[in-house]
Amino acid sequence: MSSLPPRVILFADTRGSTKLYVDIGNDAASAAIGQSMARSAVLVTQAGGIVLKRLGDGFMASFTDAVAAVSSAVEIQRVHSSGLVHLGIGIQAGELIERDADLFGDAANVAARLCALALPDEILAGDDLVDKLPPGSFVLQPIDKFKVKGKERPIDVVRVLWNVWGESTNFVPSGGAAKTKPRLRISAADAEYVVDCDRPHLTIGRQDSDLLIVNQAVSRRHAVIQWSAGRFILTDQSTNGTTIRYASGQESFIRREDTDIVGTGLIAFGPAPIVDALSVLFECF
């Protein structure tokens, strides 16, 4: 095990691959994803990066230069934007440790988490990566602070707007210009709830909760969704856990821990496979 100079880690993963297999068949989908991975590997290499490993329908790459990493991500999204295969990409910079021909460390963990949060055709970058970019080199849109497992404090995350031309960087650091206060809509079978700065808590459970789901698989106080400084944090307090499925197709399962809720998707009160009767829809707006 050895420490390495700071690197930039890029994670990319196919979005909606299950649906792609259903829509065009196993052989055609497998071929399309294989071509996507090969094309992406060429773009990474051309930018001076190295594809470290293939991960299912995605990959992990390493760069020594932040501009090269983001440029590679932008080209990958441009190439894929009109095709069958669409990717979500997460990027972060930081120190890493090499062990058994693999890289580990905070940068890898954050990049993987951002990749999981990214929607199709989206690039999300962490604060340490943004700090290494020359001002005006890319069009950056602040998302907000997100909690990442293993880090005590939330990190600032930005979206790289790769399909916008002729604009300057519009990243606003913490304490900058005021932003519209975000809201979270929870849609259940027979009711709708909005979580925001005016109603910062929503409890969900079988009994004594704002949103009641009367089913023995649901704990009496199963989960709490809290608005906190523009973030929506879901805390699981249950026996069976909670599954979050994002619109991108990514799933996250938690039990007795918390996670940020972003974008749109579905929250299921229990593990996969998801049961409609134990699920609600969510939308950040």
pLDDT in tens, 113-124: 889 888 889 999
- Which candidate, 8, 11, 228, 253, places its Cα nearest to that of 149? 253
Instruction: Give the lowest-confidence range in 3-7, 133-137, 162-166.
Output: 162-166
What domains does the chain contain, in order, with CATH numbers? Answer: 2-160 (3.30.70.1230), 184-284 (2.60.200.20)
Measure the N-to-C terminal CA separation of the chain; round to a whole number of Å: 45
Residue type, 143: I
Mean pLDDT of the chain: 85
For 157-184, how does the pLDDT look when each residue is reduced to its tens digit (9 = 90+)? Answer: 888 988 754 333 344 444 444 345 688 9
Listed in sequence order, the DSSP H helices in 47-94 are: 66-80
CA distances (Å), 56 to each of 11, 14, 81, 238, in order?
A: 12, 9, 20, 30
Token pair for residue 172? 């606003």
Instruction: Please name which of 56, 58, 51 lies closest in space to residue 87, comparing C-alpha atoms.
Output: 58
29-38, 73-82, 138-147, 229-238: segment of lowest average pLDDT: 138-147
Helix (H) or strand (E) holding 129: helix 127-130
pTM exceeds 0.75 for this model: no
Which structure tokens are listed for 40? Answer: 């992406």
Q: How many CB atoms neighbour CB 220 within 10 A?
A: 12
pLDDT score of 67: 94
Work out the percent of the chain whose per-residue pLDDT is above 90: 49
3-state secondary structure of 133: coil
Tell me 120's DSSP state: T
